């Protein structure tokens, strides 16, 4: 057997589906095998492989074994002369494997091979070629010098930015997303080091290939799309800790004790520096609008207070200093907290959220002032302050919205103009999928034929050779490729050739009802049936859900003497109450047995399918119930589900 392809999957159902499809297409002329190792996914991935790809060898782990151990499971049973470790969030061209095999056959000194990787926008991913992270190289990377001088031979060594992206080069480190290796080399040097749970294992294995006298190559003649980071968001603080800790393991294993100490010292500085910067940046970004709101409201309230004293009270010193130093700041905090609770800082900004927040905040301020004679001020001043607050909040959001969308329709988003690249039948099928989803901010302009055609169709915009002109004429924002009508190599080719900066790309896998893409190399891949707005992930709804959980838990605790006579398993009933109070669970969550890639929320005591009369409901029914709960979520829905499933709260 010539090639064994190993994919380690963890909860990326739709990406795995696309990846396996592209791998099987690329293996059509090769004696090969596909091995999928699933790390205890709960999104239906195992069932997908068993039902749709019976020819694939499946290892279904009962727990998450990590990247290294899972890949080793696959490599131990692999029969190919060559072994490819491939990420599931990838798409390979039809001739990628053939090109790699030809190169390795012609270069017997090659132990490992990496290819040209592109992100979801068709842009080059610099991790396609890397050098060994020696202490000096790591220093330049950690402190940003490699980013400032990417083409420098001194500072840009981490990603070898000074090497031509379109030329074959000897390199030191292969990317774990695509590691093409000789099995005989792995038999000599061993498999992945299982001390690494995630990250660093590719560096370690690549280095061992070099130490044993083989060479690693970057080979740009073969290309793949790598959506990146679907299992881990690389901008998160958690990623910083995991990645740099893996670097310390590598240093202690391969560097001298002196160099390992220096490397570890630099890495530990980097960990806390990056974590501090990430947290600080996130905090500053989130606080910009609230600080601007608070500052303008304070200035407005100060001017309002002065006007009220002179014009209404006729006394410039009518109010004490406490109004400015204490009362007004407290008012502002209450108003803004109330606005935040009601979704006034969520995007898109909505006027109704501002109104609810300001009204609720005003009622709270009025109620509190009744209990403090010393700090009780004019109710009229509070009312006018509320009007001022609403005006400031509205003005700030209108300015932000106009800057972004060039209109004043607050609450709306820019209408995304889309064209579909495919033949008539498949393009219309994709249009129907999008129409059924009822997107307010989406306009499908028409379709682009993948080849020249004289067919007359009012929805046809032209053929693929005219794509640049079509983008300019219709001011397109996104292009969706139909893989049924275009091979992967042509899709990747056109993604690379279309140079319009603001164009996003998506792909519809063959005969699927989902669309895959990623709009930035720094963002994880996305699965969606385009951007359906899910109520469950609105920040205001998540806050309300948490408050409801707490209030319901307290209420159920008070009623527990009666409830233990009603619920099944009363001991679990108390355990669930305290688990909800502690924030570990929610009263209502998703059904676990689902194929949908739903947002992560707390595990529920009950779920939308709890009260089904037929407990063995088919997966489609469960999918619909979960999706409806996510899309139409409201507190009323939680209340209804809890009342209906009251016997199952234990």
Average pLDDT, the chain: 85
Q: In terms of C-beta distances under 8 Å and separation of at least 24 residues, what long-range contacts does 511-515 make, across chains too?
A: 511/484, 512/14, 512/17, 512/18, 513/433, 514/14, 515/430, 515/433, 515/480
Q: Which of 57, 39, 44, 45 is nearest to 16 (CA)?
A: 45
3-state secondary structure (DSSP) of residue 461:
strand
Provide the terminal-to-terminal Cα distance of the chain, rounded to the nearest Å: 54
Q: Which residue has the higher pLDDT, 258 or 51?
A: 51
Q: Where are the domains of the chain?
A: 3-129+165-231, 234-411, 416-528, 535-648
Tokens matching residue 65: 């074994």
449 bridge partner residues: 463
The pLDDT value given to residue 263: 67
The pLDDT value given to residue 531: 46
Cβ atoms of 88 and 19 within 8 Å: the answer is yes
Which residues does 555 contact at the CB level (< 8 Å), separation at least 6? none
Strands (E), 162-230: 169-171, 178-182, 215-226
Query: Hey, what CATH class is 3-129+165-231 in?
Result: alpha beta
The pLDDT value given to residue 486: 94
Pairing of strands 586-588, 526-528: unpaired
Cβ atoms of 41 and 10 within 8 Å: the answer is yes
Cis peptide leading into residue 466 (ω within 30°)? no
Residue with tokens 């009362």: 327
The pLDDT value given to residue 587: 95
Does residue 231 carry a pLDDT above 60?
A: no
349-389 confidence digits (pLDDT tens): 889 999 999 999 999 998 887 776 666 677 888 999 999 99
Cβ atoms of 481 and 508 within 8 Å: the answer is yes
- Is CATH 3.30.420.40 the right assignment for the domain spanning 416-528? no
Which range in 227-236, 301-310, 621-630 is most confidently predicted, on average pLDDT? 301-310
Please state the φ and ψ torsions of residue 598, each to the nearest 5 degrees: -90, 155
Percentage of the chain lying above the pLDDT 70 cut: 87
395-420 confidence digits (pLDDT tens): 999 999 888 877 788 877 678 899 99
3-state secondary structure (DSSP) of residue 36:
strand
Pairwise CA distance, residues 100 & 344, whole Å: 53
Lowest mean pLDDT among 109-123, 513-527, 599-613: 513-527
Q: How many helices and strands, by DSSP H and E, does the chain display?
A: 22, 18
Q: Which of the 8 DSSP states describes residue 324?
A: I
3-state secondary structure (DSSP) of residue 231:
coil
Residue with tokens 């590691």: 179
3 bridge partner residues: 32, 82
């Amino acid at each position: 057997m010539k090639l064994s392809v190993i994919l380690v999957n963890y909860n990326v159902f739709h990406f795995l589906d696309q990846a396996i499809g592209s791998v099987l297409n690329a293996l059509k002329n090769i004696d090969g095998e596909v091995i999928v190792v699933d790390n205890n996914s709960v999104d239906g991935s195992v069932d997908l492989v068993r039902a749709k790809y019976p020819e694939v060898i499946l290892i279904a782990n009962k727990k998450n074994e990590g990247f290294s151990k899972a890949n080793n499971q696959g490599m131990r049973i692999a029969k190919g002369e060559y072994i490819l470790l491939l990420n599931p969030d990838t798409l390979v061209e039809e001739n990628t494997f053939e090109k790699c095999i030809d190169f390795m056959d012609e270069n017997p000194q090659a132990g490992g091979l990496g290819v040209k990787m592109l992100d979801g926008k068709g842009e080059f991913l610099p991790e396609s070629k890397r050098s060994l992270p020696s202490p000096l190289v790591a220093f330049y990377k950690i402190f940003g010098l490699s980013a400032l001088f990417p083409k420098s031979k001194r500072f840009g060594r981490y990603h070898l930015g000074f090497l031509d992206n379109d030329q074959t080069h000897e390199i030191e480190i292969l990317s774990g997303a695509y590691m093409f290796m000789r099995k005989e080399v792995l038999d000599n040097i061993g498999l992945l080091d299982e001390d690494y749970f995630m990250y660093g294992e590719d560096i370690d294995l690549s280095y061992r290939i070099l130490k044993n006298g083989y060479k690693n190559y970057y080979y740009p003649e073969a290309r793949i799309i790598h959506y990146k980071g679907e299992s881990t968001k690389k901008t998160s603080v958690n990623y910083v800790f995991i990645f740099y800790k893996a670097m310390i393991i590598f240093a202690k294993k391969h560097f001298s004790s002196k160099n390992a100490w220096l490397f570890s010292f630099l890495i530990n500085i980097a960990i806390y520096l990056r974590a501090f910067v990430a947290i600080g940046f996130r905090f500053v970004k989130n606080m910009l609008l609230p600080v601007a709101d608070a500052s303008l409201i304070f200035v407005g309230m100060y001017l309002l207070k002065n006007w009220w004293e002179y014009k209404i009270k006729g006394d410039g010193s009518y109010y004490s200093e406490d109004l400015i130093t204490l009362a007004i700041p407290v008012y502002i905090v209450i108003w803004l907290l109330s606005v935040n609770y009601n979704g006034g800082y969520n995007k898109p900004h909505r006027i109704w959220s501002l109104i609810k927040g300001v009204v609720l905040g005003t009622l709270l301020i009025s109620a509190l002032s009744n209990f403090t004679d010393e700090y009780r001020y004019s109710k009229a001043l509070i009312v006018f302050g509320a009007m001022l607050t609403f005006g400031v909040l509205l003005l700030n959001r209108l300015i932000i919205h106009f800057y972004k969308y060039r209109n004043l329709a607050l609450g709306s988003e820019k209408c995304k103009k889309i064209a579909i690249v495919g033949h008539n039948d498949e393009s219309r099928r994709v249009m129907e999928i999008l129409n059924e989803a009822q997107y307010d901010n989406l306009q499908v302009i028409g379709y682009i034929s993948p080849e020249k055609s004289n067919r007359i169709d009012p929805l046809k915009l032209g053929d693929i050779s005219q794509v640049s002109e079509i983008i300019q004429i219709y001011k397109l924002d996104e292009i969706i490729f139909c893989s049924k009508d275009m091979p992967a190599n042509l899709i990747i080719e056109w993604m690379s050739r279309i140079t319009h900066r603001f164009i996003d790309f998506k792909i519809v896998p063959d005969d699927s009802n989902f669309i895959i893409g990623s709009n930035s190399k720094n963002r994880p891949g996305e699965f969606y049936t385009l951007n359906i707005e899910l109520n469950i992930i609105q920040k205001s709804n998540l806050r309300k859900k948490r408050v409801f959980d707490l209030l319901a838990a307290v209420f159920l605790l008070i009623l527990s003497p009666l409830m233990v006579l009603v619920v099944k398993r009363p001991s679990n009933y108390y355990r669930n109450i305290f688990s909800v109070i502690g924030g570990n669970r929610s009263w209502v969550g998703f059904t676990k047995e689902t194929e949908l890639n739903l947002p992560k929320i707390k595990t529920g005591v009950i779920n939308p399918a709890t009260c089904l009369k037929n407990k063995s409901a088919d997966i489609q029914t469960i999918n619909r119930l979960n999706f409806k709960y996510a899309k139409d979520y409201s507190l009323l829905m939680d209340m209804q589900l809890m009342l209906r499933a009251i016997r199952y709260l234990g």
